[in-house]
Amino acid sequence: MIQTYAYKDIKIDEIFSREEEKTTVADVVANIIADVRKNGDEALKRYAREFDGAAAEVLEVSAEERAAALAEVDAEFIEILKEAAAHIRAFHEKQKRTDFVITERPGVVLGQKIIPLDRVGLYVPGGTASYPSTVLMDCIPAKIAGVKEVCMVTPAKGGKLNPDIIAAAEIAGVDRIFKIGGAQAVAALAYGTESVPRVDKIVGPGNAFVAEAKKQVFGQVSIDMIAGPSEILVIADGNSDAAVVAADLLSQAEHDKMASAVLVTESEVLAKAVAEELERQIPLLPRTEIARASIDNNGKIIVVESIAQAIEVSNEIAPEHLEVCVDDPFKYLADIRHAGSIFLGRNAPEALGDYFAGPNHTLPTSGTARFSSPLSVDDFIKKSSFTYYTKDALAAEAEKIGFFARREGLEAHARSALIRTTKEAEK
């Protein structure tokens, strides 16, 4: 059963602490990465047979296979995917950046150019934890950014592709799909093989082996983040419906036994009612065992003195998902500083963000919302600055540049500026 605490009796930095499993995967992942780097496609095919029960000789999904998988998906879901994609696209279009040029000083041109990444790899789980929503969330911003090629990797369990994943890929605009998964797929994207091209960045969720692989290849390629288990923090006042609040907490608890669901409220009556509702609703879920473990081990209810104090608690925790279930949520929006995604009011469940509203659902976890942001168009671009000076413009500043460089003990730096405007090279 979920535990209830008074604010004064709980340590905020322990809110999302978890009893971590002791399994170490780093060595296993390191061996897989080394194997893929050395043996390329042969290693990928061997792992596909071992882990996925797939014996495909061709790793890339053909146009015919994509069409066949798409044909398996019912028309209603296709239309829902298309509508969700439209909402996601409309939101992320607003994130596009533009070049700028500054010409305020005579003879000087400064600026910044926005350059899309050439190729991005999208990792998508293909088993029971398969999320077509993530395909939309991860591919659409990349396409808006102007990425030339998006390559998706997803395991074909038993040799069969997940048709919902393929449908989402078609709608989002994925360019190439490969039937590989696990740490070996991350290694293939990072280093390239005979069939799989090397990418510039890898995004997308996965199990502990995938997360570890992303960590180990970071530096060779960029990655989106090392995501931890799902989190939700619900701030609710005494007018909130206990059944609704409990349902929202369980929306994250059902993800993973390590997921965390936290309620912060100024109402002891609501706290008690939500605890009772959780006990009523958990047995109704198909993923009862997972939700039960999450709530019992990581769930918490914190009773505070006011909603303002609840906001303070939330800012200290910096949750992945934050719901503000009060009559006037916009009253508190300016005070919320640390949260991955914010859901305002009584009619904005976290599930809106997962599927349909438009903002991205790839979010910072484990308190990293203090310094990082949701996945966005910015994740798929890089920026280069440029500088141009005329000879006269450089002459006006060369002595200052030389003085500055010599102050730092870098004589060659100073000479490189002064040689263009003085007889410095002859000294």
What residues are annotated to the active site?
320-321
Yes or no: say if 235 and 344 are a contact pair by the CB < 8 Å rule: no
Residues in the chain: 427
| Token pair 């009772």 in the structure block, residue | 276
The 10 Å Cβ neighbour count of residue 339 is 23
Contacts of 266 (CB under 8 A, 6+ apart): 237, 238, 303, 304, 305, 306, 307, 309, 310
Yes or no: say if 222 and 198 are a contact pair by the CB < 8 Å rule: no
Q: How far apart are the first and last CA of the chain?
A: 81
Q: Nearest-5° angle of CA 297, CA 209, CA 175?
A: 120
Element (H, E) at 150: strand 149-153
The 10 Å Cβ neighbour count of residue 35 is 18
The 10 Å Cβ neighbour count of residue 1 is 12
Amino acid at 195: S
The 10 Å Cβ neighbour count of residue 55 is 11
HSE (side-chain half, CA atoms, 13 Å) at 38: 6
- Specify the 3-state DSSP secondary structure of 358: coil
